[in-house]
C-alpha cells in the first residue's frame, strides 16, 4: 500500500492482496481518490492538522550534512520531557534494538537511565508479565512500560526534537525507521531462530554454519537493496526538513552491519553509496555520538558469523538439538510446577 501526497488531492494506492473471490483485482492497483476534505473528515483541524503539508517537498533542498547538523536548533521545538525518569531496558550483552533510542536521547541531550539486564532478569520480568509484548527493549516512563522499538523511538524522537514537525516529513522519517526495523528483523534472524517451546516464543541461537550462510544471503539480498533505497532517498536531500531520527536509524544499521561482514565487502558497498557514507561519517563525528560510542562501541561479530571449522560444525550439530530438547523439557517442567498457562 502506498500514499501519494502532493499539492493536489491525497491519493491512496491500494494493493489488491490476492483475494480469491475477485481474481481480477489481484492484478490491479486501485486508486481511491479522496478529496482533502473527505480525507481529513473527523480530524480536528483547529488543533492537529499540519500546516506545512503542502510545502514539504519544496523545503527539501540539497544540503551538506554538516550544515544540517549545525543548523539544528535544540531550544525551540522539544516536547517537554516527562517528570518521571525515562528508563530504557535491554540485554546487557550487546547493543541491538535499543541503540536507535539511545542515539536519539544522546544526540537530543535527553537524560535517561540506560538499564541493561541479563537473560534471567528478562525471563523473570516476562514471566511476571511486566513486559507489554513479552520482549525488550522497553521504555519505562513512571508507571508506564512502553514496548516496540519503533514506537519507543518515535516517542523518544518527539522528546528529543528529532521528529519532523510536518506530517509528510514525519511519514517519510517513519518509513525509514520502519525499514530499519525490518532490516534488524532479517539480520537477527540470521543469528537466532524463533521457535515456540512450551507454548512460549523463544529465541534459540543458530548453528554457526547456518549463521554464516544466512548472513551472507542477508548481506546480498536485503542489505544491499536497502542501501540502494537509502541512497536514492537521500540523493542530496535530507529525509526530513531537519535532522531526524530517520538519519540516526540509517547510521545505526550501517554501523551494526560493519561488525557482521568482512571489511573489504563493507567498504565496497559504502563506496557505491556516497550519500549514505557521508551521512554515516558526519553523524559518527558528532561529539555526543563519539562520546557515546566510547562507552558503547559497535562490536565486531565477524568471528561468530564466519564459516566454522569442520570440527566445530560437527560438534554443534550434535550439541544444538540436545540443548534445544533440554530447554523444552526445562520450560515444560517449569510451567507445570508454576501452573502457568
Ligand atoms: N518488534 C519488537 C521485537 C523485539 C524483540 O524481538 N526483542 C528481542 C530482543 S532483540 C527479545 O525480546 N527477545 C526475547 C525473546 O523473544 O525470547 C521490537 O521491535 O521491539
Ligand 1: which residues within 6 Å by Cβ? 96-97, 135-137, 148-149, 181, 201-203
User: 36 lies in which domain range?
Assistant: 2-49
Per-residue pLDDT band at 186 (split at 50, 70, 90):
very high
Q: Is residue 19 part of a domain?
A: yes
pLDDT reported for residue 21? 44
Mutate to test the pocket of ligand 1, among 135, 183, 187 (most ligand atoms within 8 A of CB): 135
Beta bridge partners of 202: 195
For residue 307, pLDDT over 90 is answered with no
Q: Ligand 1, atom 11: nearest CA belongs to which residue?
A: 135
Asked if the structure places residue 168 within a domain, the reply is no
The contacts of residue 304 (CB under 8 Å, 6+ apart) are 191, 208, 211
Which ligand 1 atom is at minimum distance from the Cα of 149?
20
Q: Which residue has the higher pLDDT, 59 or 16?
A: 16
What integer is the mean pLDDT of 132-146?
Answer: 96
Of 64-68, 187-191, 193-197, which gets the smallest average pLDDT? 64-68
- From 11-15, 151-155, 197-201, the region with the lowest mean pLDDT: 11-15
Question: What local confidence, expressed as pLDDT, does residue 324 receive?
Answer: 81
Three-class SS of residue 127?
helix
Higher-pLDDT residue of 278, 11: 278
Candidates 92, 94, 97: which one to mutate for ligand 1, based on the most atoms within 8 Å of Cβ? 97
Higher per-residue pLDDT: 50 or 319: 319
pLDDT top residue among 46 and 94: 94
pTM: 0.79
User: Partners of 14 in the beta sheet?
Assistant: 30
Q: How high is the pLDDT of residue 301?
A: 85
- How confident is the model at residue 226, as a pLDDT? 98
Tell how far the Cα of 132 is from the centroid of ligand 1, in angstroms: 11
Mean pLDDT of all residues in the chain?
81
Q: Cell 563493507 identifies what position? A: 266
Within-domain flag for 8: yes
Read off φ and ψ for residue 46, nearest 5 degrees: -65, -30
* Radius of gyration, alpha carbons of the chain: 23
Confidence of residue 340 (pLDDT cuts 50, 70, 90): low
Residue 15 in any domain: the answer is yes
At residue 17, the pLDDT reads 43
CA 82 to ligand 1 center in whole angstroms: 25
d(CA 23, ligand 1 centre) in Å: 37
Q: Is residue 28 situated within a structural domain?
A: yes
For residue 98, report the distance from its CA to the centre of ligand 1, in Å.
10
User: Where is average pLDDT lowest: 73-87, 203-217, 240-254?
Assistant: 73-87
Ligand 1 atom 2, closest CA: 148
Q: Name every residue whose Cβ is closer than 8 Å to that of residue 94 and which is 6 or more positions away in sequence.
A: 299, 301
Give a yes or no: residue 246 inside a domain. Answer: no
Average pLDDT score over residue span 98-118: 97
Ligand 1 centroid to Cα of residue 135, in Å, is 5
Output the nine-digit C-alpha cell for 234. Answer: 537521500
Residue bearing the CA closest to ligand 1, atom 19: 149
Q: Is the pLDDT of residue 228 over 80?
A: yes
Compute the distance from residue 88 Cα to the ligand 1 centre, in Å: 14
For residue 14, being part of any structural domain is answered with yes
| Cβ atoms within 10 Å, residue 207 | 18
**Number of domains observed in the structure of the chain:** 1
Ligand 1 center to 136 CA (angstroms): 5
- pLDDT reading at 54 higher than 50: no
Does 152 have pLDDT greater than 90?
yes
The verdict on residue 24 lying in a domain is yes
Place of cell 573489504: 264
pLDDT at 110: 96
Ligand 1 atom closest to residue 194's alpha carbon, by position in its atom list = 16
Amino acid at each position: 500500500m502506498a500514499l501519494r501526497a502532493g499539492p493536489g488531492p491525497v491519493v491512496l494506492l491500494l494493493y489488491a492482496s490476492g483475494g480469491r473471490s475477485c481474481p481480477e483485482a489481484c492484478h490491479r492497483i486501485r486508486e481511491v481518490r479522496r478529496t482533502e476534505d473527505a480525507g481529513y473528515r473527523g480530524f480536528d483541524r483547529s488543533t492537529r492538522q499540519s500546516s506545512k503539508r503542502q510545502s514539504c517537498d519544496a523545503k527539501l533542498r540539497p544540503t551538506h550534512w554538516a550544515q544540517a547538523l549545525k543548523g539544528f536548533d535544540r531550544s525551540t521545538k522539544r516536547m517537554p520531557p516527562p517528570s518521571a525518569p525515562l528508563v530504557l531496558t535491554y540485554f546487557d550483552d550487546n547493543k541491538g534494538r535499543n541503540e536507535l533510542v539511545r542515539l536519539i536521547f544522546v544526540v537530543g541531550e535527553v537524560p535517561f537511565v540506560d538499564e541493561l539486564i541479563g537473560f534471567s532478569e528478562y525471563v523473570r520480568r516476562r514471566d511476571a508479565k511486566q513486559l507489554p509484548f513479552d520482549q525488550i527493549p522497553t521504555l519505562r516512563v513512571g508507571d508506564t512500560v512502553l514496548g516496540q522499538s519503533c514506537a519507543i523511538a518515535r516517542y523518544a524522537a518527539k522528546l528529543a526534537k528529532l521528529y519532523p514537525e510536518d506530517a509528510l516529513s514525519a511519514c517519510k522519517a517513519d518509513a525509514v525507521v520502519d525499514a530499519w526495523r525490518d532490516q534488524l528483523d532479517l539480520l537477527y534472524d540470521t543469528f537466532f531462530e524463533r521457535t515456540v517451546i512450551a507454548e512460549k516464543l523463544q529465541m534459540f541461537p543458530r548453528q554457526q554454519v547456518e549463521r554464516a550462510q544466512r548472513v551472507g544471503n542477508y548481506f546480498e539480498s536485503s542489505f544491499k537493496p536497502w542501501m540502494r533505497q537509502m541512497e536514492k532517498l537521500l540523493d542530496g536531500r535530507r529525509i526530513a526538513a531537519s535532522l531526524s531520527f530517520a538519519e540516526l536509524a540509517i547510521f545505526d544499521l550501517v554501523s551494526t552491519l560493519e561488525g557482521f561482514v568482512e571489511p573489504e565487502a563493507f567498504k565496497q558497498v559504502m563506496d557505491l553509496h556516497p550519500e549514505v557514507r557521508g551521512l554515516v561519517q558526519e553523524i559518527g563525528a558528532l561529539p555526543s555520538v563519539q562520546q557515546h560510542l566510547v562507552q558503547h562501541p559497535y562490536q565486531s561479530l565477524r568471528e561468530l558469523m564466519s564459516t566454522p571449522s569442520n570440527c566445530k560444525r560437527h560438534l554443534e550439530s550434535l550439541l544444538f538439538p540436545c540443548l534445544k530438547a533440554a530447554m523444552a523439557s526445562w520450560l515444560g517442567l517449569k510451567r507445570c510446577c508454576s501452573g502457568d498457562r
